[in-house]
Structure 1
Amino acid sequence: MDSQAPFLVLGGEQDDEDIKVMLNGSFLWKIKSRRRKKERFYRLQEDGLTILSERCFKRAPPEGQIVVFSIMHIEAMREGYQSEGLRKHGRYFPETQCLTIVFKGRRKNLDLAAQSEEEAKRWARGLKKLMAKVEAMICPPLFFPYISGIWIHDILHRADKNKDNKMSFKEIKDMLKMINIDMNDIYAYQLFQECDKSSNDRLEEHEIEEFCTLLMKRPELEELFHRYSGQDCVLSAKELGAFLQDQGEVADLAHAHRIIQTYELSEKAKQHDRMMLDGFMMYLLSAAGDILNQEHTNVYQDMSQPLCHYFISTSHNTYLTDNQIGGASSTEAYIRAFMEGCRCVELDCWEGSNGEPIIYHGHTLTSKILFRDVIEIIRDYAFKHSSYPVILSLENHCGLEQQVTMVRHMKAILGDMLLTQTLDGQVPKELPSPEVTPPGNSRGRGRGPWQHSHGLLQGGFSERGPRAPSSMVSSHGHPWALSDPIAVCAPRQAKDAAQLCPQLSDLVVYCQAVPFQSLAQALGSQQAGQMCSFSESKARKLLKESGNGLVRYNAQHLSRIYPLGLKMNSSNYNPQEMWNAGCQLVALNFQTPGWEMDLNHGRFLVNGRCGYVLKPSFLRSRQASFDPESGRGGVGPMWARGVITAQQLPKLNDKKSSIVDPFVRVEIHGVRADCTSKQTEYKLNNGFNPRWDETLSFQLRVPELALVRFVVEDYDATSCNDFVGQFTLPFISLREGYRHIHLLSRDGASLAPATLFVHIKAKKM
């Protein structure tokens, strides 16, 4: 409300010279193409977490011409020509005046050019400082009240139409609709009158603050707090220990004391080793109260087993940002995949002009990028998020000359990151582990990619025809070799593309592509360094005919599953089916959001998001008896239930009259016997604080493979329900007790402060 509202990012940054420049605002050029360069006015808001962008008008900007984005949604800040957009279109501005804001999720980069080098540096430094502050505040619970405070402050500012720093009841009603709640007029007016201490039908600053405090109350958390605190409404360390014991956590007094000292806001309460309601709420909203087991957010699994014992995060058509018919190809897509923990990326390589191979989806209208540029991006970004092996899946459509160019670029750009010989100089008897260090390389030196390529077959062959050798690139600084068995016809413009040059073939170190004949033949004679790939339909057929045979194959060898090539919209298949059989490289279109990618994010959310997840023991044994169709041979069973409320769900559009009617669906994805979903009733016109108090129960036969997906949708009686938010995680990483779930958008970005609050009980039967 108040234009002089306190700067909510802690630490006095408002006195920083860089932050002052951002608070005053700057005219920056927004660069989208060679012809589309438009001047915008960008200004950091007083909350210290949101940036406003306005078009430059001589008069006041029309409705809808103001754009706001949050520091919380920024993934990275790059200076200079460090984006594909600026490398292509930013040359009209000096590199020192250019910067790129990279957003989380699938929102496009924001490429900017400042009026001067000094101004660009001010914004770059300021953004980095604010991002660092946000990052530092996300771990401590102190961050969460500020999310709500900043969020409500912005809503109040927008609802105060005449900017008099006072709110009429009509303005309060408008505000309520902005925050996704259609509150009963009588109840809303009672709340309004309760806060109108001056009795002038206007809420002033402190009265508005009180109104918001009442509005933000969490009755379900108050009830839980009073259940343990007793009549004095204060939690002692002993009472907190009782709560922790019911949560299934360490419940000794020392641990309770540490929690109080970490999360309690009142210094006086801390001194007496007591926790007040606000501190209790802070604790439950923090990472300590998250549904995801925080021990699993680090690399906690055994990483010394053979590669075939891990699920490996794998991207299909990685270069695409949209559909495979007319979508754009971009090096940015590789960066985003790597930052999501992807460890296997695909490069479709075709003949380009001037002797330079290009990457795009052949024989379509997708745009083209240089092979060389992609290899440079791999060098620069493959190991920024995860230090474990990267696999480059090269689908070669090039003639001999440009194949040699591909090899030259990989060796020159990747250098000793590229593995060109076996780790011990011997013929491999089994695949190495993700953390084996190549000769001459040390763990602390960083890792490199593993590469996976395939050559075109003479004249073109069907999926079942012979395969050419191919390569796959490894890690710890070096690539190994894999194969892509997709058989394709030689391009007409490249008569010699049917051959694979020795230099490219020599990059195959560990995995040679071999034609798949039968599981019996593969299990009997396939060598450790050989592998097969399967289309999604072929994999499903094998699952149906011999699921256990496929499990035993995957216990010894790598297999890659890829989507059918006829999908115009680049849709995905269900990856869970393939994981159930132990398939490692389950390739998905990362650029296509949907429940399939939600499952992929959930599968690789754990183990430090390093892109490698150890398969359950019953999928790693060569004598495995597990049947992925029935689930027989698993460890289970388990039983689970949950009670659900929600807080501050996002609106689906900007219309004031648009209020969601939310319901929650809990889905179990696992073996066929475990796949099910149950949902709550919908709550009419309340996306702010709906409360269901419903119990949803599930029985799981194979919990080690199961993923749990919490989905919020907007009920619609006449058409399809609209997606609101979701969160997916492995069942074995789900924590019992009272937990918050921080919802994600369709493209995986945070929907803070939107949460679900659940009570989870799970036990073996």
Structure 2
Amino acid sequence: ENIPNEEAIARLKEKTSFHKVRSLDKFICRNYFIDFNTMQLHYEPSIKSFMCRDVPYIDLCDLSEVRKGWESDRFNVIDAKFRRKLHASIGPKNLPQLEEENCFSLVFDNGMKTEDLVAPNPEIRDTWVKGLSFLIASYKDQLVNDEQTVWLNKQFREADKNNNKSLSFDEVITLLNHMNILMNEKHAKALFNMAHIHKHKMNLRELKEDTLDREEFLVFYQLLNQRLELEKLFRKYSVNSTCIMGPEELRDFLVDEQKLTGSSSIEAYRLALIRGCRCLELDVWDGDDGEPIIYHGYTLTTKITLRDVLKTIHKYAFKTSQYPIILSMENHLSIEQQIKMAELMRDILQDYLYVTPVDKNKSHLPSPEALVRKILIKGKKLPQLKPKKLIKLKKALDLNPIKESESEESDARDDEEEDEGDESDDEMSDNEITVEANDANIETNAENTSQSKTENKTQNTNNTENKEKSKDHNASNSDNHNKLGHTYKLAKEFSDLVNYCAAKKFVSFDDCLNKKKWKYYEMVSLEETKSESLSKNKTKNDDSDEDTAETGGEAASTVKSKFPYVNFTRKHLVRVYPKGTRTDSSNYNPITHWNVGAQLVALNYQTCDKPMLFNEALFAMNGKCGYILKSEYLRKGKEYGVSGKTSVVNSPTGKVKKVWITIISGQCIPKPGNSFEGEIIDPYVKLKVYGHSADSFEFKTDSVKNNGFNPIWEQSCEFIIRLPEMAFISFAVKDQSNTGKNAVLGQYMLAFRAIMKGYRTINLVDSENRPISPASLLVHVRFEDVADYWSPE
């Protein structure tokens, strides 16, 4: 650990023997070293086969991090076997160094692939981890500062098929095809010769082969990269129609055009957190070794331990955002393993776990700022019963699930309810006292407490003893249990971790909006089709009464919406989850649910489809912190129409927008799948508006034949956006094909609220929402207010 960076990096040049872990019983010995000329990690078998000709390598630009210890899916399996004392069956007998202190993992940029290695000893492991981590960090800094050069270096390496660190003319022609540049050989040869600096300095007879080195290749690229559309823009604002802008011309450009003066893998959880996800669903089931496991029940998905997932959450929870995380618990556990789950949460999440009880004197949820770096648990919570009911349950079940302090609080509240004419003990509804874990999608907010492990163990022991008693008196308890109409399948140790996200069964919005029945910290989970159906329901009474809501300590006038869904989500959380028939992990359209105020719209992060692009676009507006302020019309209750057919709509910003977008040009558009093979593409751009149904709009440019390198379209469209806060705009670059489906070459989705006026560059992403730098579009955007409100009628 104390070795200087310079020394650690120097040692990476030397071949070092590691064992690569393929599976529990297969290890491959390889020699690894760094080639600093190409910034590649090379590896070769320790004993070369006569069939092994080229040395394989890993580009450092393809790595995202290096992890010490057993911090990958493959190592987690080994870790589980060690915990279960099955390590004698792991691996060959001649690998005694398979200990966590000798292991590390290289994590690739997509996060789903790792190279798991075992070093001869901890010192070598630490040296390589430190050296590689420094190189990867340095490379990422370079990528930020000079993205174009990094991309060009990668193109050069991939085109250099014989690894001689130079490109022949044939290799250059192949590269031009890969970069989607149609050029006849005569023109290409002329540029090749112009870039061939050494050819002009040396006698041709001294050159063994006509090639471009790395420096000359950069010159060749500069000769290719003429931006005629930018030259035209410069001439428009420049002095005497040249390509030079003076200070005054630059000011005119900025003011006129840019408007600057205006106003089921562990890795899957890690990636979701890194991408800013703030609510994770954990589907927990009983494990064979007494510890909970996570998988989607009644499916063939891989099983992983809750312990490993919690460790990953603890490590990556606040890497991207400091704001709170909600763990939505799908609880299918027995009482014993619920107790174990609560113990694991306290032990692993530590100070992040929020366990402070809710303040019953308040009437609204705390802001995310008040819960910075805290993890909350969403789940069902044991009810705080009235004294008479508590006595009946104690006698019937011989259980003591409620503390005396809670009983005292219940006493005080009971007196208040009786004064208000509330229902008596015997009239309490089933919804208030029935706790069935199998019916709930449990989402919980959690924070660590000061309780010692000894206290936790004491609680676990007491719970176990109570369970044994209940088993002894199973028959009598069952009868009384059924007479009372209560089902208790929830461990108190887990219930105590639930506070601001207490799950409650949904009956109707009329029931939910009853302030006597529903507390501000209680929430509901709705299946996607149920949520969509409810979003269209209106109240029978259409009066727009005004309420007073506290906002930042000041009274603000709000208008009751005609949609009870909207009214409920002003003070309560609603989580929407995919329907059970989505076994392929596909996603539903989240916009419908956001538009009525649902805060937690659960999507499958492993599936990068259009709904996921909406999600990325929405939360990109707030620095990917995972939270964004609701639209004004949802907070203050302006009327709006969900269907877009019958309602008068006040625009969320108070203004309807007319938008003009010119798609000017594209740069470095790749072939499908970024392939070297295939014909040069014929790209076109498709623009589409999503959001309110009345704002639907599509536009398509013409295709540019045989040019993906720098296609120019210069085509414009105009359209109206009636509800800007609902709107998203999609840009997709596709390849015009006469024989098959038009392949998507690059795309980008953004919320209309994030769009700025002027000339803008749109950096494209691939089908997995990964940047495909330097592929981009150059567009010009203009919009203005054209009306104060909109009526679909």
User: Which TM-score tier does this pair reach, normalised by the shorter chain?
Assistant: 0.7 to 0.9
State the alpha-carbon separation in 2 of the partners of residues 746 and 55 from structure 1.
35
Residue 384 of structure 1 and its aligned partner are, at CA, apart by 2.3
Match of 1:569 in 2: 584
Residue 702 of structure 1 and its aligned partner are, at CA, apart by 1.3
Specify whether residues 229 and 124 from structure 1 end up closer, same or farther in structure 2 by C-alpha distance, changes over 3 A only.
farther
Kept after mapping to 1: 8 A contact 2:377/2:446:
no
Residue 680 of structure 1 and its aligned partner are, at CA, apart by 2.1
Match of 1:188 in 2: 188
Kept after mapping to 2: 8 A contact 1:180/1:688:
yes
Kept after mapping to 2: 8 A contact 1:106/1:747:
no
Match of 2:456 in 1: none
Among candidates 623, 628, 650, match of residue 633 of structure 1:
650
Residue 432 of structure 1 and its aligned partner are, at CA, apart by 1.3
Among candidates 577, 582, 599, match of residue 584 of structure 1:
599
Specify whether residues 679 and 336 from structure 1 end up closer, same or farther in structure 2 by C-alpha distance, changes over 3 A only.
same
Kept after mapping to 2: 8 A contact 1:535/1:564:
yes
Letter in 1 for 2:656: P
Q: Does residue 366 of the first structure (1) align with residue 301 of the second (2)?
A: yes
Kept after mapping to 1: 8 A contact 2:501/2:523:
yes
Among candidates 138, 146, 151, match of residue 149 of structure 2:
146
State the alpha-carbon separation in 1 of the partners of residues 499 and 735 from structure 2.
52
Residue 450 of structure 1 and its aligned partner are, at CA, apart by 0.6
Matching of residues 663-702 of structure 1 within 5 Å: 663-702=684-723
State the alpha-carbon separation in 2 of the partners of residues 203 and 511 from structure 1.
66
Kept after mapping to 2: 8 A contact 1:45/1:52:
yes
Structure 2 unaligned runs (5+)?
80-89, 383-430, 451-470, 479-486, 539-561, 787-793
Partner SS state of residue 85, structure 1: helix
Kept after mapping to 2: 8 A contact 1:47/1:150:
no
Among candidates 643, 658, 671, match of residue 663 of structure 2:
643
Among candidates 216, 221, 226, match of residue 217 of structure 1:
226
Match of 2:248 in 1: 238
Letter in 2 for 1:641: I
Partner SS state of residue 355, structure 1: coil
Partner SS state of residue 598, structure 1: helix
Kept after mapping to 1: 8 A contact 2:323/2:368:
yes
Q: Does residue 83 of the first structure (1) align with residue 98 of the second (2)?
A: no
Letter in 2 for 1:167: S
Deviates more, 1:222-231 or 1:330-339: 222-231
State the alpha-carbon separation in 2 of the partners of residues 503 and 80 from structure 1.
31
Residue 611 of structure 1 and its aligned partner are, at CA, apart by 0.5
Matching of residues 274-673 of structure 1 within 5 Å: 320=264, 330-423=265-358, 425-436=359-370, 447-454=373-380, 468=436, 472-474=443-445, 499-525=489-515, 526-546=518-538, 548-621=563-636, 623-630=637-644, 632-634=649-651, 635=653, 636-638=655-657, 639-651=659-671, 652=673, 654-673=675-694
Specify whether residues 476 and 611 from structure 1 end up closer, same or farther in structure 2 by C-alpha distance, changes over 3 A only.
farther
Kept after mapping to 2: 8 A contact 1:548/1:627:
no
**1:695-737 deviation digits (Å, cap 9, x = unpaired):** 2333211112222222223333333222322222221112222
State the alpha-carbon separation in 2 of the partners of residues 217 and 30 from structure 1.
47
Letter in 2 for 1:387: Q
Kept after mapping to 1: 8 A contact 2:443/2:503:
no
Kept after mapping to 2: 8 A contact 1:640/1:763:
no
Partner SS state of residue 612, structure 1: coil
State the alpha-carbon separation in 1 of the partners of residues 367 and 727 from structure 2.
25
Partner SS state of residue 642, structure 1: strand
State the alpha-carbon separation in 1 of the partners of residues 434 and 714 from structure 2.
59
Kept after mapping to 2: 8 A contact 1:43/1:53:
yes
Kept after mapping to 1: 8 A contact 2:376/2:501:
no
Specify whether residues 478 and 47 from structure 1 end up closer, same or farther in structure 2 by C-alpha distance, changes over 3 A only.
farther
State the alpha-carbon separation in 2 of the partners of residues 535 and 151 from structure 1.
46
Partner SS state of residue 609, structure 1: coil
Partner SS state of residue 435, structure 1: helix
Specify whether residues 475 and 601 from structure 1 end up closer, same or farther in structure 2 by C-alpha distance, changes over 3 A only.
farther
Q: Does residue 226 of the first structure (1) align with residue 257 of the second (2)?
A: no
Kept after mapping to 2: 8 A contact 1:396/1:454:
no
Letter in 1 for 2:157: D
**1:192-219 deviation digits (Å, cap 9, x = unpaired):** 4655685979455476443222113333
Partner SS state of residue 180, structure 2: coil
Specify whether residues 393 and 22 from structure 1 end up closer, same or farther in structure 2 by C-alpha distance, changes over 3 A only.
same
Larger radius of gyration: 2
**1:481-502 deviation digits (Å, cap 9, x = unpaired):** xxxxxxxxxxxxx999972223
**1:537-572 deviation digits (Å, cap 9, x = unpaired):** 111212233483322222222111111111221111
Letter in 1 for 2:168: M
Q: Which has the higher contact order (CA 8 A, sep 6+)?
A: 1
State the alpha-carbon separation in 2 of the partners of residues 182 and 519 from structure 1.
62
Letter in 1 for 2:376: W
Specify whether residues 96 and 619 from structure 1 end up closer, same or farther in structure 2 by C-alpha distance, changes over 3 A only.
same
State the alpha-carbon separation in 1 of the partners of residues 77 and 301 from structure 2.
17
Q: Does residue 713 of the first structure (1) align with residue 734 of the second (2)?
A: yes
Specify whether residues 667 and 658 from structure 1 end up closer, same or farther in structure 2 by C-alpha distance, changes over 3 A only.
same
State the alpha-carbon separation in 1 of the partners of residues 184 and 524 from structure 2.
62
Residue 124 of structure 1 and its aligned partner are, at CA, apart by 2.0
Letter in 1 for 2:250: L
Kept after mapping to 2: 8 A contact 1:24/1:43:
yes
Specify whether residues 127 and 213 from structure 1 end up closer, same or farther in structure 2 by C-alpha distance, changes over 3 A only.
same
Specify whether residues 338 and 543 from structure 1 end up closer, same or farther in structure 2 by C-alpha distance, changes over 3 A only.
same
Structure 1 unaligned runs (5+)?
1-14, 252-292, 296-319, 321-329, 438-445, 457-462, 480-493
Kept after mapping to 1: 8 A contact 2:575/2:600:
yes
Specify whether residues 193 and 508 from structure 1 end up closer, same or farther in structure 2 by C-alpha distance, changes over 3 A only.
closer
Among candidates 151, 157, 165, match of residue 160 of structure 2:
157
Letter in 2 for 1:35: D
State the alpha-carbon separation in 2 of the partners of residues 409 and 723 from structure 1.
45
Residue 609 of structure 1 and its aligned partner are, at CA, apart by 0.9
Q: Does residue 108 of the first structure (1) align with residue 113 of the second (2)?
A: yes
Letter in 2 for 1:381: Y
Tell me how large the CA RMSD over aligned residues is: 3.6
Residue 371 of structure 1 and its aligned partner are, at CA, apart by 2.0
State the alpha-carbon separation in 2 of the partners of residues 139 and 84 from structure 1.
30
Letter in 2 for 1:626: Y
Residue 28 of structure 1 and its aligned partner are, at CA, apart by 4.3
State the alpha-carbon separation in 2 of the partners of residues 356 and 389 from structure 1.
26
**1:173-209 deviation digits (Å, cap 9, x = unpaired):** 1221233333344543453465568597945547644
Match of 1:248 in 2: 258
Kept after mapping to 2: 8 A contact 1:740/1:757:
yes
Match of 1:11 in 2: none
Q: TM-score by structure 2 length?
A: 0.73
Residue 681 of structure 1 and its aligned partner are, at CA, apart by 2.4
Residue 119 of structure 1 and its aligned partner are, at CA, apart by 4.2
Q: Does residue 130 of the first structure (1) align with residue 130 of the second (2)?
A: no
State the alpha-carbon separation in 1 of the partners of residues 192 and 366 from structure 2.
67
Kept after mapping to 2: 8 A contact 1:344/1:393:
yes
Deviates more, 1:753-762 or 1:113-122: 113-122
Deviates more, 1:41-50 or 1:631-640: 41-50
Aligned residues: 639
